[in-house]
A and B are shown apart, each in its own frame.
Chain A
Amino acid sequence: MYKFWGNKRLFILLFGLIFFIAVMGLTLTKREQITWPEKFLKDTVSFTQGLIYKPAAYIAGFFEDVGNLRTIYEENKVLKLTLSQYAMDIARLNELEAQNERLKKALDFTEQQKKANDYVRHYADVTADSPDPYNNTVTINLGKKDGMKANMAVVSTDGLIGIIKRVSAFTSSVELITNMNSNLNTTKAIAATIAGKEDKSFGIVESYDETVDGGSLVFVMTKISKEDPLAAGDVVITSGLGSVFPPGIVIGTVISKQMGEFGITYTAYIKPAAKFQHLREVFVIEVPEGK
C-alpha cells in the first residue's frame, strides 16, 4: 500500500485522468461566453488560417473547373433560358410585393410585425474546417465587429448548414447541424414544416442518424402528427416557430416516414439538401431586433 502511494508517476497519471474528465464534463454544458485567452488565440489562429484556406480552395477549385468544362457549356445554355424566365418573375414579384404592402396596410400590421421578415443576409468566408470527424465546426471571418451574435442561422446556397455557436472579435465558430444530437442540451432542435403545406404540417428535426439508407447520415424529424400530409419526396423547410431559425430555409427532402417510438407520432428521415464538406462561402441570417 505504501509503495502504491509512493509511485509518483502513477499518481500523476491518475490525477491527470480525473482532471481531464472533470474539464470535459464541465465544458460540456452551454458555454456561449468565452474567456479572453481563448478569444485571443482563436482570432490569431483563424486569421492565419484564412490566409491559407482561400488560395487552397481556389487551387482545388481550378482543377475541378477544368474537369467540369463540358458540363459548364450545357449549363450555360440552360441558365440563359432560366434568366429570361427570371426577368418575367421579377416583374411579377414586384407587383406582388406592392400588393402585399397594400394588403398589410389594410390589415393594420404593427411596425414590429412588418419588420419581422426583413432578414439581413451577411456574406461570410469560411476560414477553417475542423479535422475532428465527430465535431463538425467551421470558422467564418465575421465576428462581433460585424454584428454577429450567438444562435444566428447560417445557410449555404443549397440550404441550412448550421448555427453560430460562439463569437470572438473578428471570427465566429459555426456548429454544423450534422452535430445535432437529441441527448445534448446544447443542441438547438429545428422546428420544421413542408414547403407548400406550411399550415398543415409540423415536426421537429432534432438529430442526425446513420440507421437508414445504407449507412449515409440522415436527419431525423420527430413528433409528426397522424393527420400530417407529409410524404416521401416532400421538401422540408424551417417553420420559424422555434424563433431561432427564420422560416423558409430548406433543410432537405423526405426519404421515408414511419411510426415513431411510442406509436403516437410519426418519424421521418430526411436527406440533407446542403453539403457539409468543402464549404467556401456561407450566409449568416440576421433577424432584426424586436422579434
Chain B
Amino acid sequence: MKRNLIWFLILLFLLEGTMIPWLIPEVWSTHVQVAPHFITVTILYMAIFMNRYYALVFGLIFGLLQDIIYFGHTVGLQSFSMGLTGYLIGLIFRSAHLSMFSALSAIFVGIFTYEGIVYALYRLFRIVEFSFSWALMQIVLPSLVINLLFALLIYIPARNYLEGIGNKRQEND
C-alpha cells in the first residue's frame, strides 16, 4: 500500500519539472510566476489524514531530492521548508475528522506557510531582494490558486487512500 504512495510521489516529482510548466499558459508567465508545489500539497494531505511524522519524513526526502536535482543556490532549503510545514500542519490539525472545507483550509494555511518559509529563508541568505508584498502578488497568490485547484482535484482519492493507510496502521498498533 505504502509503496504505491512513494511511486505516486516520484511520478509527481518527475511531472512537476516537465509536464506541468507546459500546462500553465505562457500568457500568465509574462505577468506572474506560477509555481506548482504539488508534492507539498500531497505531503500536507499526508499530514492531515495520516500523521505528522509521515509528513515530516516524506517532506525531508522529497525536499532534498528537489534541492539536489535543481541545485541553484543552496542544498537543504526545500527539504527544511517541506518537512517543517508538513510537521506543523500535522500538529495543528491533529483532530480526527475534518470536513472537506476545513481540510482545504488546512491545505491553504499549509501552502501559505510553506511559501512564507521559503521566501523568508531566501531573504535571510540575501538571495532575493524584493519585498514580501511584491512576492505575495507576483508569486505566492497565483501559485496558491493553482495548488488549491490541484488539492481540490485529488481531495477524494487522497482522503480515501491515505485514511485507509492511516487506519490500518492504527489497528496494527
Contacts and interface: CB of A to CB of B under 8 A. Distances in A.
Closest 10 CB pairs of A and B: A128-B17, A130-B70, A135-B72, A23-B76, A60-B22, A53-B18, A20-B80, A27-B75, A52-B18, A133-B35
A27 B71 CA distance: 10
B22 A131 contact: no
Contacts of B35: 131-133
Nearest to A214: B31
Interface stretch (B103-111, B116-124, B149-157): B116-124
A28 B68 contact: no
Interface stretch (A105-113, A177-185, A254-262): A177-185
Size category of the binding interface on chain B: 35 or more
Given A20-B79, A45-B14, 8 more contacts: A59-B22, A130-B72, A131-B66, A133-B143, A137-B72, A165-B72, A166-B71, A215-B137
A157 interface: no
Interface in A53-86: 53, 56-57, 59-60, 64
A180 to B, nearest CB: 11
Interface stretch (B42-50, B94-102, B127-135, B160-168): B127-135
For the residues of B in contact with A, the DSSP-based class is helix
Nearest to A24: B74
Interface of B: 13-23, 26, 29-31, 33, 35-37, 65-66, 68-80, 83, 118-119, 121-122, 125-130, 134, 137-139, 143
A23 B81 CA distance: 13
Contacts of A127: 18
Nearest to A35: B68
Interface residues of A, number: 51
